[in-house]
Structures are given as structure tokens and as C-alpha cells.
Chain A
């Protein structure tokens, strides 16, 4: 678990890809990120164009996954729909890990002082406030856009990883190398960012992946509730339009099933990456 202070964690990507789990997860994620850009080579229909076929048609050779109630091509929408969840997920992951570093290091390091206890209390409170209602209420006030989704999801996702990282910091600060750094007169800042941070980097990375999974699932959920960017196609708002136009009551499975499979594959691939990182943390 304890990784020495050299830059060994930079080798994580190599260890990650040199395994079935990591390789498979990475391939699926890469595929869904590239597909939208290769769309024009695969399907001749634009996902947004209305009336490229008859409305509500089941799958056929012309439309591999049928058409929507507006006669849009579902297959074209499906291969374009993964990009926004991936972008929102990864950006939320990056911003959240910055927040986690800023909050968790002082929270763990000053855990005996009043300031540390106060941050810990706030974190615990935000941990128990139900996530989706808060996301919805912020989303409604901010208005639908990809940027706002990232902003709201970042505001919501920091407490859980912060708790985990700060408890690791709490145990690290009693170790010998920190105590000797203190004895040498290193400042608190220097100890936190130069001695402790490198030792929790792997933990932060693995938690970032959990945040990405969380963000992808919630991004699709809020888009499904009609709080997504209406100018872009993503898997969540595909399901929103399906629900709104009565596709469920008509049993139009070809419109409803593909987006969900996409979300599942994406979330599962990130879970595989997470499992692999856990293995790396244990073995190296």
C-alpha cells in the first residue's frame, strides 16, 4: 500500500494497460469517445436531423436501430451519445480530485485541531444530504448546459473521496518520515504537499475513477429528467425524449434499450479500471 516517494505512480498507466481488465476497460472507453467523430463514416444520417426515415419504425437495414418519433436515426444517436457522459465524467473527476486535495489534506493533517474537526463535520453533513434532489434543484436554477452539469456534479461528489483520503492522511501523519520532516523544521504546507500528497496519489486516482462512474450515472440521470443540454444528443436525453413521446407505452424497445446498454458498458469499463488500480495498489 505504501508507495515510496519516487514517481512510481507515474507508471500506473503502464501497469493499467498491461492487464486484461485495464485493457478491456480502456478500449471500451476509447471506442465510445472516438465513435462520435467517426460517425459520418459509419452512418449516413445526422443524429439530430428530423425525418430521415418514417417515425417510430422498428430496426431495419436502412435504420439499424429503428427511428424515433420524429423520424431520427436511433443508431446514429446511439454512437454519438457517449461523448457527453465521458466528457462530463472525466472533467468532474479532475475537478473533484483538485477539491479533494485542497480539502482532504488539511482536514486529515489538522484532524486534532478545531479547524480540521470543523471541515470533517461539514464533509459528513454533505455526505448525508440526498444527492439527486440537490443536483436537481441546483440544475433547475442554473439551467441546462454541459458546463453546469460538470459544475453541479463537482459540487456534489467531493465529500465521499475526501473522507477516504483524509483518513489515510490521518494515519500517515503519525509515520516516522513525517515526524522526522517535522523535526527538520519543514513547514506544514511543505509536509502536506511534498511528503503526504505523493503517498496518497494512488488513492486519489482510484477514488477519481469512482467519482467518474458516479458522475456518468448521474449525468445520464439528470439528462433523463430533462436537465441536459437540449442542443446535444446524449444517452440520457435520448431516454428523456423517448419517455416524453410515449415510446414506453408503445413498447418501442429499439429506442430505449441501446442508450442504457451504452451507459452500462461505460460504467462497467470504469469499474474494471478501478479494480485494476486496486490490484496495482496492493501488488506494487
Chain B
């Protein structure tokens, strides 16, 4: 397949997904059982104010006009006003929170992919050895541990009992009061990010290891590996300069598939560690039944996943010579 055709196909897929997302986000609040008005308007406001806001959002108009208005609002970044942080617009909340989530999930994705690749390669190379069995067992255990529970346990152990790491937030509030130098600040942010990051990575490493192991095992059976062995190349060289490259390619596809999972994990981890990203925003919005924030956060999070997926897909096209040609 030519590279250009491949890119066009991926961009088309992104467009279709985006349309489905637009529809889902429009239909869910309107067609679920219950009182639809309460989802757009704060029920504590006076009836006149409620009606005014309903009109402002066009909710008194026929459904197709509502849809046009809704699409217009989405493209102008108008997601309504948060009930919880009234009267802050939802888009402002998202602007503050999104970078932290992208930082957390991005770091976790890259680090766990690298660790998964290395450990999976080793496990496959020493197939059926004690080390291999142990790595596979640990990965399966890691995948059975509920992410949020692991977070709670690490929090109790390292945050509360041993007091090694802070238990919430993304930097110490004292920095707002006493301006300090940048390096100390970054160190402080990293210390706050450490536990959430480890928790999020635990699940991902398990899956990555198993996939890399399977992919390496099938690559090792290829004819060219046998040939290299017959030519007397040393094992280490075969492994690192030939097998590694070919076996890592499926990992990239896997990262694309994982994206939704990573976001799901991040929502839970942020809720546990009070890490002020999109996940905590969603958690707070759920507890306060803050529907506009919930809708806006869902839309933006899903859109970020779709964009990340598009980037990974195009990267795959660049790296895989069969497509690049």
C-alpha cells in the first residue's frame, strides 16, 4: 500500500470517529431516561433563569436546530458553565486540567512501552526458563490488579505510613506563596507525579511484556534468524540489531489500541491521588452530578485519544517499510 493512500485512509477513519463522537455526545444526554432539563441547567436557579439558559442553549427549539447549535458550540469551545465551579465555563476548567493528564499519560505510555519491550524481548529469548515463567506470571498478576486499588495501597504504604511521597496534588502549594527556582519546582512536580505514574504503568507493563514476548517468539521463528544463526552471528547481535526492530513494530499498533485503556486508567489514578487532571475533574463532576463538565470532559478526552491514535497510526506508516514504500 502506498504511504499516501494509507494516510488518507487513517485521516478518513479519524473523521468518521469524530462524527460518531459528536453524535454520541449529543444523543446521550437527550435520550437517556430522567429529566433532561436538569442536565443543562442548575436546578437550584430560579425558573426564569433556568428558562433563559435553556433558550441560550437552544433547548426549546426542534431537535435538528439543537444539533446545528450544538455543533457550533463545540467548534467555538462553548461547553456550557460548570455547576460545581459555577460560574466558570467548562472549557476553562478543561484548559487547566488537560496538560497534566497529557503529561501523566504520555510519560506512562512511553516508559511502559520501553520497559515492556526490553523485558518481553528477554522473556522470549529465554523462553520457558525460570526468568521467563516469572515474568509471565508477574505480568498476569499485574493485569489482574485493579489499578485504583493498587493506587490506594501505594498511597497508604508510601504516602501515609512511610511518608516518602506526597499524597495529593501536582506540586506543593507552598510554591505559590514562596517563589522558588525552577529546578526545585520540577523536582517537586516529579515527586508528586511518581506514585500516580508507577500505578498507571503497572497495568500497562504487564500487557506490553506479554505482547512483546509473543511478537519476539514469532520473529525468532523467521527464516532470516535461522540463517543469521547458521552464519555464526553472535546471539546478542541477532537479538538487538535484527529481532528487536521487527518485533517492536506490533508494539506500536498495540500502543494505539491501548490508548483508550490508558485514559481509563488515568481517570481512576487521578481520582485516587487527587492529581488535578481531567480524571479528577470527571470524578468530581460525577460526585456533584455536574453534567456540563462531564459532557465537556468526555468530549475532549475522547478527542485527545482520537488525535493520539492518528499520530501513532501515521508514525507506524513511516516506520513500517512495507507501507512507506
A125-B17, A137-B295, A142-B32 given; A130·B146 CB < 8 A: no
Q: Determine the distance from Cα of A223 to Cα of B294 in the docked complex, in whole angstroms.
A: 17
A125-B16, A133-B264, A251-B161 given; A224·B153 CB < 8 A: no
B271 contact set on A, CB distance < 8 A: 225
Q: Determine the distance from Cα of A124 to Cα of B12 in the docked complex, in whole angstroms.
A: 13
Segment touching A, from B73-81, B84-92, B229-237, B280-288: B280-288
Segment touching A, from B124-132, B171-179, B255-263, B317-325: B255-263
Contact B148 A132 (CB under 8 A): no
Report the nearest B residue to A126, measured CB to CB.
Answer: B20
Segment touching A, from B49-57, B63-71, B109-117, B137-145: B137-145
Q: Mark B231-249, 1 if CB is under 8 A from A, else 0.
A: 0000000000000000000
| Dominant secondary structure of chain A at its interface with chain B | helix
Contact B263 A130 (CB under 8 A): yes
Report the nearest B residue to A252, measured CB to CB.
Answer: B156
A130-B301, A248-B160 given; A256·B153 CB < 8 A: yes
A141-B29, A248-B156, A257-B153 given; A239·B260 CB < 8 A: no
- Across the interface, A248 reaches (CB within 8 A) one of B32, B147, B155, B291, namely B155
Contact B13 A124 (CB under 8 A): yes
Q: Mark A115-155, 1 if CB is under 8 A from B, else 0.
A: 00000011011111111111011101111000000000000
| Known A131-B264, A141-B32, A220-B149; 7 more pairs at CB < 8 Å | A125-B20, A126-B20, A129-B20, A129-B260, A130-B260, A143-B34, A221-B146
Chain B residues within 8 Å of A, Cβ to Cβ: 13, 16-17, 20-21, 24, 28-29, 32-34, 39, 140-141, 143-150, 152-153, 155-156, 160-161, 167, 256-257, 259-261, 263-265, 267-268, 271-272, 282-283, 286-287, 289, 291, 294-295, 297-298, 301-302, 305-306, 309
Chain A residues within 8 Å of B, Cβ to Cβ: 121-122, 124-134, 136-138, 140-143, 213, 217, 220-221, 224-227, 239, 242-243, 248-251, 253, 256-257, 259-260, 263-264, 267-268, 271
